[in-house]
Amino acid sequence: MRPVNVRIVAEYICSLEQLSLHTKPTTHEMSSTEPRTDRTRAVWRVRLGSALRTILACTIVGCTTLYSPASVKHFLRYPAFSYVTTILIVSDATLGDALRGCWHALFANIQALLPSMLCLWVIGPARFTNELAALAVATNAFLVALPESTHLMCKRIAFGQIVIVYVGAAINGAKARAITHPIHVASSTALGVLASLLAMLLPYPHLAFYELRKTCQLYAENAFERLNYFIDAISAQDNTTARDLISQAMSLSKAGAKLLQSIKKNMDVMQWERPQTKLLKTRYINLGEKLQHMELPIRGMEMALNCSTASCIGSMMDEELREVLGSLKVQIGQKFERARCSMPIDATITLLETKEQFLDMYLWKFRNISITQENLSAFFFLYSLELLLDDLPIAQVPECALEYTQNIDTEEYIDSQNQAMGSFNRTWSTLDIFPTSQSLVFAFKCSLSLGLAVLFGLMYNKENGYWSGLTIAISFVTGRQATFTAANARAQGTAMGSVYGILCCYIFQRFEDLRFLAMLPWIIFTNFLMHSRMYGQAGGISAVIGALSILGRTNYTSPSEFAIARISEACIGLICFLIVEILLNPARAATLAKTELSRTLGALQDWINSIVLCSNQKNMPASTLQALREKQNKLKTHFNDLKKFISEAGLEPNFWFLPFHGPCYGKLLESLSKMLDLTSFVTYKIEFLSQVLKRFALDLNELQERMNDDLELFKERVGSSLKHLEKATSIKSLAALEKELQKKVMSQDIELGNSPNVNAFRLFGTDEEEVENIMSSFLRHLNEEADKIYAKAIEEKLKSQIVLCLTGLSFCIGCLIRETMEIEKEVKELVKWENPKNHVN
């Protein structure tokens, strides 16, 4: 594996997501333009591949609607919707995505067209006025949007069909037959679906299976390159070299995260390609899961190195350990090489046994080394390395920590299969639903937005009244989005596409048959536009549809008149969409981000208060461990919501409100992300110790009591700090916060009969001495009990694992304390930002 290639891949992945890595370029990168050239070529290859399949799909639709026999054209009355369906399905898709799109389109036909046939037959198309059409659209849209189990793609296609059916009835009157009119809409939808499917099959199938294999190979290279940097950093002789190596590894971390997201996506989509991947899918899904399990130990090594200095680690490093780490690097390289070459990772276990035994023997020698805060990070680095060697799934319940057998792998695979096929199975469960408040709000939003858009669109220009509803029919999302940004991108995309279409019509006015060829460069351009930070997918899709609706059709008014009418209709629809969104979701994303920050801190405090070191006694039920894992999952949910709100708040306009403090929230998110990783390690360690103590009936009650006393002190200080940070971020004004805190201080002091104590609710601040006291107590008790553990008559490797696990627990506790201090600083900065005229105590 070549390091330069991995760096290119890292730059390529980050460029796709428009990420700024803010890392210092190396001398090689500054002295050569080859990596940048290769990155550009890689981006062009991926973008052109996606664009060419989009061109093929649109060409199939265009040729069918323009040059097919009259008997076929009779059923394809709405070619514009064929293009809309095609773009929705084929954008950055694989064959699995196209097959899933076929299923969603079929179910959309059942949801939208069957009720519309009944409605047209009962009322009669001739009786449909503008108001009745808007009411019918609103009613049907509400029914389609209500089931939570229906996929968003299915709802978007159904919304578009509903708009075309009822607006067509209002425009054409009696000419729109109750049965044939919806059939024409279904035929146009089917053409778009078929074109998307053929584009994924020709000239060769674009399988998610191959994408998963390629992504696994890239991630294996990325992870091994980071591991190389980390091992070289811990073996470095000076701090400058170590920091430079860590910096280079961190420049690859974001690319690795994006590759993992791609692996998860392709693992889900692969389930729709069952005939093509039946023989090989199990191996690659298991490989993808194993690679995901490897990420957290690698991040653990990164945290260990970031919390240490070369001089601290150097006190433990000698030539023997450097030789061990170098040999392990070679062996782990073979492990990643097998993943890169699409071979089972487990095949390297025999190759690793000797070096694992060598590492265990060296760890045994550490029993003569006193564990201090200086060498704590080195122990945690070795602990993370051992987890990586053993392929232990830290993020899951470690019942397999001691026996990670193939049977457990098979059970996990079956679970992943069931989850991945959830979207297929849930589609049939729409009858077994109970609407939640969230689904009711979403359904009402879709209903009201589409109803108003159709009403005002028909009132403004009846002939082109479709576009006001169609523009927003493909815009809805089930959660929140940056509404103003998305609407602005769609408006600009529609205008750009329409203007491009007009210009091409003028250039090719004598050669109408060649107008469609002008779409080819535009589709390529919009494919890049979809991945831009400014326009995103919303603007890119609107731009390509805006041009296709002019260049890909015939038999309409002059292009300029149609373009003006369509832009106006699109603006009407977007204005209705914005008004309804503001009325139903008046809270700004910045406000929601602050509220969610408070909830995240509360969830973190709740998890910390649940930490208890397990023993072999029966007074520690399994429900306690399960509750700890559930609270960790709750914390992860709040963290993900906070991340989405912060992203949305950074895109929304400020208007007359206080600007969103993006840098401060970014640092808070970074600290919380580290703490979330630490919760996985802590939870795993506690569960592992519980398994070991129960299985081997070890008597470590004294250790358990001492460590629990230290944990109580930790929980008291950190929990108290998080509690008041939660309160500080939940109260709107600084005066209200100070009044609330003063009340609590007075009430507690009166109960105790003391005078008011200003330090009753003191945070950590910069009190390093208190942090040192907490950690010193942990390490003192750990060193005292480590000798007792080594003296017990159990397997040598198990002794090292127990001590190393307890050492890692101490490291995580120290990191949690320091990250809490960082959060205190950022919350204080945030309160200052929101109260610039007040002094923040």
Task: Collect all residues with Cβ–Cβ distance below 8 Å to 718 and sequence separation of at least 6.
Answer: 608, 816, 817, 820
For the stretch 479-523, pLDDT in tens is: 788 888 888 899 999 999 999 988 988 888 777 777 878 888 899
Structure tokens at 576: 């209705």
pLDDT of residue 228: 87
In the predicted model, what is the mean pLDDT of residues 419-442?
Answer: 59
Cα(366)–Cα(379) distance, integer angstroms = 9
Cα(776)–Cα(789) distance, integer angstroms = 20
Cα(793)–Cα(798) distance, integer angstroms = 10
Instruction: Say if residue 186's pLDDT is above 90.
Output: yes
pLDDT of residue 453: 94
Report the 3 state secondary structure along 269-303. HHHHHHHHHCCCHHHHHHHHHHHHHHHHHHHHHHH
In the predicted model, what is the mean pLDDT of residues 548-564?
Answer: 82
Residue 585 carries which side chain, given as an amino acid letter? Answer: N
> Is 66 exposed, middle or buried (CB count within 10 Å of its CB: 0-12, 13-18, 19+)?
middle
* pLDDT tier for residue 472 given thresholds of 50, 70 and 90: very high
Cα(550)–Cα(504) distance, integer angstroms = 9
pLDDT of residue 457: 93
Instruction: Say if residue 4's pLDDT is above 50.
Output: no
Tell me, rounded to whole angstroms, the distance of Cα 52 from its chain centroid: 27
Token pair 């073979």 is found at 334
Final residue before a domain boundary, out of 584, 600, 624: 584
Cα(162)–Cα(159) distance, integer angstroms = 5
Give the mean pLDDT of the chain.
Answer: 78
Cis peptide before 203 (omega within 30 of 0): yes
Cα(444)–Cα(291) distance, integer angstroms = 42
> How many independent structural domains does the chain possess?
3
Q: Are 165 and 254 in a shared domain?
A: no
Structure tokens at 518: 């002008």
Phi, psi of 109 (to 5 degrees): -60, -40
pLDDT of residue 574: 93
Final residue before a domain boundary, out of 529, 552, 584: 584
Tell me, rounded to whole angstroms, the distance of Cα 239 from its chain centroid: 34
Nearest to 378 by CA among 304, 295, 298: 304
Q: Are 778 and 812 in contact (CB under 8 A)?
A: no
Instruction: Say if residue 340's pLDDT is above 90.
Output: no
User: Where are any strands of DSSP class E within 84-242?
Assistant: none
User: Where are any strands of DSSP class E within 306-391?
Assistant: none
Domain span holding position 800: 589-748+758-834
- Using DSSP, state whether 9 is helix, strand or coil: helix
Q: Is residue 382 part of a domain?
A: yes
In the predicted model, what is the mean pLDDT of residues 620-647?
Answer: 84
In 3-state terms the chain splits into helix, strand, coil percentages (rounded to 5) of 80, 0, 20
Q: Which of 133-137, 659-663, 666-670 has the lowest mean pLDDT?
A: 659-663
Cα(538)–Cα(482) distance, integer angstroms = 11
pLDDT of residue 341: 64
Phi, psi of 765 (to 5 degrees): 60, -125
Q: Is residue 427 part of a domain?
A: no
Q: Are 200 and 78 in a shared domain?
A: yes
Q: Are 545 and 609 in a shared domain?
A: no
Q: Is residue 3 part of a domain?
A: no
pLDDT of residue 428: 41
Q: Are 565 and 705 in a shared domain?
A: no
pLDDT of residue 433: 52
Regarding predicted confidence, which is higher, 391 or 512?
A: 512
Q: Are 218 and 195 in a shared domain?
A: no
Final residue before a domain boundary, out of 370, 389, 408: 389
Sign of CA dihedral 4, 6, 7, 12: positive
pLDDT of residue 371: 75
Residue 697 φ/ψ region, left for φ over 0, alpha for ψ in the -120 to 50 degree band, beta for the rest? left
Nearest to 148 by CA among 442, 445, 416: 442
- DSSP label of 585: -
* pLDDT tier for residue 567 given thresholds of 50, 70 and 90: very high
Q: Are 254 and 18 in contact (CB under 8 A)?
A: no
Instruction: Say if residue 294's pLDDT is above 70.
Output: yes
Instruction: Say if residue 197's pLDDT is above 80.
Output: yes
- Using DSSP, state whether 404 is helix, strand or coil: coil
Q: Are 252 and 12 in contact (CB under 8 A)?
A: no
For the stretch 812-827, pLDDT in tens is: 888 999 899 999 999 8
- DSSP label of 400: T
Task: Collect all residues with Cβ–Cβ distance below 8 Å to 282 and sequence separation of at least 6.
Answer: 413
Cα(471)–Cα(498) distance, integer angstroms = 13
Instruction: Say if residue 176's pLDDT is above 60.
Output: yes
pLDDT of residue 761: 43
Q: Are 160 and 261 in a shared domain?
A: no
pLDDT of residue 596: 92
Q: Are 200 and 213 in a shared domain?
A: no
pLDDT of residue 407: 36
Between CA 667 and CA 231, with CA 260 as vertex, the angle to 5 degrees is: 75
Q: Are 571 and 720 in a shared domain?
A: no
Instruction: Say if residue 74's pLDDT is above 60.
Output: yes
In the predicted model, what is the mean pLDDT of residues 701-722?
Answer: 82
Cα(752)–Cα(744) distance, integer angstroms = 12
pLDDT of residue 49: 87
Cα(127)–Cα(751) distance, integer angstroms = 76
Q: Are 443 and 534 in a shared domain?
A: yes
Phi, psi of 555 (to 5 degrees): 60, 50
In the predicted model, what is the mean pLDDT of residues 192-202?
Answer: 93
Q: Is residue 476 part of a domain?
A: yes
Whichever domain contains 804, its CATH number is 1.20.58
Q: Are 722 and 783 in a shared domain?
A: yes
What length is written for the chain?
A: 841
* pLDDT tier for residue 132 given thresholds of 50, 70 and 90: very high
Nearest to 280 by CA among 216, 332, 193: 216
Q: Is residue 815 part of a domain?
A: yes
Instruction: Say if residue 10's pLDDT is above 60.
Output: no
pLDDT of residue 346: 52
For the stretch 82-127, pLDDT in tens is: 999 999 999 888 888 999 999 999 999 999 999 999 999 998 888 8
The string of DSSP codes covering 197-240 is HHHHHSSS---HHHHHHHHHHHHHHHHHHHHHHHHHHHT-SSHH
Q: Are 620 and 693 in a shared domain?
A: yes
Task: Collect all residues with Cβ–Cβ distance below 8 Å to 533 and sequence separation of at least 6.
Answer: 18
Q: What is the dihedral of CA 77, 83, 85, 88, to 10 degrees?
A: -170
Task: Collect all residues with Cβ–Cβ distance below 8 Å to 510 and sequence separation of at least 6.
Answer: none
Q: Are 67 and 158 in a shared domain?
A: yes
pLDDT of residue 157: 94
Structure tokens at 396: 């899951």
Cα(392)–Cα(576) distance, integer angstroms = 52
* pLDDT tier for residue 430 given thresholds of 50, 70 and 90: very low
Token pair 């890909």 is found at 552
Q: Is residue 32 part of a domain?
A: no
Q: What is the largest CA-CA distance in the chain?
A: 96
Task: Collect all residues with Cβ–Cβ distance below 8 Å to 513 and sequence separation of at least 6.
Answer: none
Tell me, rounded to whole angstroms, the distance of Cα 665 from its chain centroid: 18
- DSSP label of 24: P
Instruction: Say if residue 833's pLDDT is above 60.
Output: yes
Regarding predicted confidence, which is higher, 197 or 253?
A: 197
Instruction: Say if residue 178's pLDDT is above 60.
Output: yes
Q: Are 600 and 635 in contact (CB under 8 A)?
A: yes
Cα(431)–Cα(412) distance, integer angstroms = 29
In the predicted model, what is the mean pLDDT of residues 549-576?
Answer: 86
Q: Is residue 482 part of a domain?
A: yes
Q: Is residue 114 part of a domain?
A: yes
Q: Are 680 and 632 in contact (CB under 8 A)?
A: yes
Regarding predicted confidence, which is higher, 309 or 52?
A: 52
Between CA 827 and CA 829, with CA 828 as vertex, the angle to 5 degrees is: 90
pLDDT of residue 357: 58
